[in-house]
Structure 1
């Protein structure tokens, strides 16, 4: 049966047309801690790939432990791109990311390899494959993540004042004592402002979008284990070094999950156990928003990983076969 008008299908570009000259783009997507990087590294033993990292935090220099950035050994084994692009206090937009990501697709294909996008920042992936068009994106998990962190660190009154400055009419209609309503109104206001940014056209080549699916309890378990491991691996030391280097705790990078909690622990306002628990909770919330973003895309073919490691041979082979079939 032919797809309904306007419906996107696996392997087809969002423009509804395919340019044979455009190299295919493959991707491994999913929420944080689902095993995307582990699966990508295993795929690299079976397919010639280079990895394009689609992660709005791993692009910052100095944010390595708290973002679970690929290790030096992994980066030596498989070329990784789009890491360490900006300082933690440097503005960096999706347009900046796209400007660097798009040329890499052709460069990697020119080397006879497959460009494999790996990450959980759905806004970046959408910008690459669907075109840079915020008007078609009603919200972004990145905006929600940042605003949720700000209401915890700066307080509701500060965000209510910002809403009044950005969109006075929306502020008049909003119960400014209700955190959820203030966050939603501010989110809409900020998203609307971003629609004025330049746009790019949808990618015309073939797409192979693979998602890693796990039961919610298993994903929560993995998030808890990862959170504990980040603190054990030296997250506090990493944050101390960032603050000592002069980066403000008010920067967007240091307000994100894990880093904000580390800052508060170092300032003496959170115990270590409280910092770990808060990080795990906020990470679970972020993972939920990531899944909401990805689940609405019918082109993504989901691989059920259950409680198995992402490097499980059956999972790797299933993903490999899907990638090969979809980009053929």
Structure 2
């Protein structure tokens, strides 16, 4: 398997699609497995940056001419998994993701398809490439009631203490950015502290991990311009529609970032200007925490091959293929 990680606005999805298309053009089926914690939800398209058009790759472009051999379709639609698999309002979690990932991965393997895992949710990606052994954790209504009156700072301190006692590297700030998520993380860590995790072995998956390295200033510029584009494309209207369909505001706020700040604007808790200002600040902070997570993966023993986001697409695709094929050859010796 090939795994592609990178911060928001680094272009990793477009890169993964072009990489997959280069293999498909040569007769090697390839499909993308999403590693994004929010793109699993239907209707949540603009706010999650789903951009499904990215999976349709134009083979006539300069970037893909190298692989546009005779007989190759003008457009290659790259198949994808774990996008639009549940309804807004559902509390999808890492345990469910592991099971869904394994089903998609096994399906690809059974059909001779090269799976390409792509996403910026570091916890989700790491949970499947480091074989986290997880068990489903039931709701603890008493704990939730006790935690509901605490501030985000208090919840963070409680979670930090539990992680230290459990020797846990789960629930980094990258994936815990709202009180609801922090309470769920505390619920999971509390359960794991009180119960022996049942033996649920997760298979070891050989993967070459590619990191998309984008300079800080370039990343910040892309985040700012992309946020404006998403607002212009109708992100506020998208969230109004989801609320009109019966999803409770608290359930959207639970998802953090765009869904937190835009929902708070729609229900009258923030001005339009404050929404945009705070959202931009927190997306920049989120991207920084993503990079912190990926550096942490390296410290935990995961080799990440970094590729510059600024390279032309053809060079990035070629470079990744070279890395992948080199690692495969070494593993065969």
TM-score by length of 2: 0.71
Cα deviation for residue 109 of structure 1 reads: 2.3
| Structure 2 equivalent of residue 31 of structure 1 | 7
Flag structure 1 segments of 5+ consecutive residues without an equivalent. 1-24, 136-150, 171-182
How far the C-alpha of 1:38 sits from its partner, in A, is: 1.1
Give the Cα separation in 2 of the matches to 1:157 and 1:290.
23
Q: 1:42 to 1:188 in 2, by over 3 A?
A: closer
SS at the partner of 1:303?
Answer: strand
Q: Deviations over 1:92-121 (max 9, x none)?
A: 211111111112212212222211100011
Note if contact 1:129-1:202 (Cα within 8 Å) is conserved in structure 2.
no
How far the C-alpha of 1:189 sits from its partner, in A, is 3.8
Note the C-alpha offset of 1:302.
Answer: 3.5
Quote the residue 2:326 is aligned against: 325
> Is residue 64 from structure 1 mapped to residue 45 from structure 2 by the alignment?
yes
C-alpha distance in 2 between matches for 1:161 and 1:103: 34
Q: Distance in 1 between matches of 2:202 and 2:50?
A: 28
What residue in structure 2 maps to residue 74 of structure 1? Answer: 55
Of 298, 303, 308, the match for 2:306? 303
How big is the shift at 1:228?
A: 1.1
Equivalent pair of 1:213/1:306 in contact (CA under 8 Å): yes
Cα drift, residue 208 of structure 1: 0.6
1:291 alignment partner, SS class: helix
Q: Does structure 1 retain, via aligned residues, the 8 Å contact 2:308–2:316? A: yes
Match of 2:142 in 1: none
User: Residue 22 of structure 2 aligns to a residue in which SS?
Assistant: coil
Number of aligned positions between the proteins: 269
- Please tell me whether the aligned partners of residues 133 and 200 of structure 1 are also in contact (alpha carbons under 8 angstroms): yes
Q: In structure 1, how many angstroms separate the alpha carbons of the residues matched to 2:326 and 2:155? A: 52
Partner deviation per Cα, 1:55-92 (whole Å, 9 max, x = no partner) = 11101111111001131572681111001122221122
Secondary structure of 2:257's aligned partner: coil
Q: CA deviation at 1:161?
A: 8.7
Q: Deviations over 1:20-51 (max 9, x none)?
A: xxxxx211001111111010111122123100
Q: Counterparts in 2 of 1:175-254, with a 5 A limit?
A: 189-190=186-187, 192-193=189-190, 195=192, 196=195, 200-251=200-251
- 1:234-313 maps to which residues of 2 (within 5 A)? 234-251=234-251, 255-298=255-298, 299-305=302-308, 307-308=310-311, 312-313=313-314
Structure 2 gap ranges (5+): 24-28, 57-75, 136-146, 165-178
- The alpha-carbon deviation at position 282 of structure 1 amounts to 1.0
Which TM-score applies when normalising by structure 1?
A: 0.72
Q: 2:226 & 2:149 partners in 1: Cα distance?
A: 28
Distance change in 2, residues 1:247/1:227 (3 Å): same
The answer to whether the 8 Å contact 1:130/1:201 transfers is no
CA distance in 1, matches of 2:324, 2:223: 27
The 3 A distance-change label for structure 1 pair 155 and 33 is farther
Question: Contact (CA 8 Å) 1:88, 1:253: kept in 2 or not?
Answer: no
Report the alpha carbon displacement of residue 297 of structure 1 after superposing the two structures with TM: 2.4
User: CA 1:327 to 1:248, structure 2 compared with 1: closer, same or farther past 3 Å?
Assistant: farther
CA separation of 1:293 and 1:62: change in aligned 2, threshold 3 A: same
Report the 3-state secondary structure (helix = DSSP H, G, I; strand = E; otherwise coil) of the residue aligned with 2:4.
strand
Judged with a 3 Å threshold, the aligned counterparts in structure 2 of structure 1 residues 69 and 155 are, in CA distance, closer, same or farther, namely farther
* Closer, same or farther: CA 234–129 of 1 in aligned 2, 3 Å: same
- Which one of the candidate residues 13, 16, 30 is aligned to 1:49? 30
Indicate if the aligned counterparts of 1:95 and 1:132 stay in contact, CA closer than 8 A. no
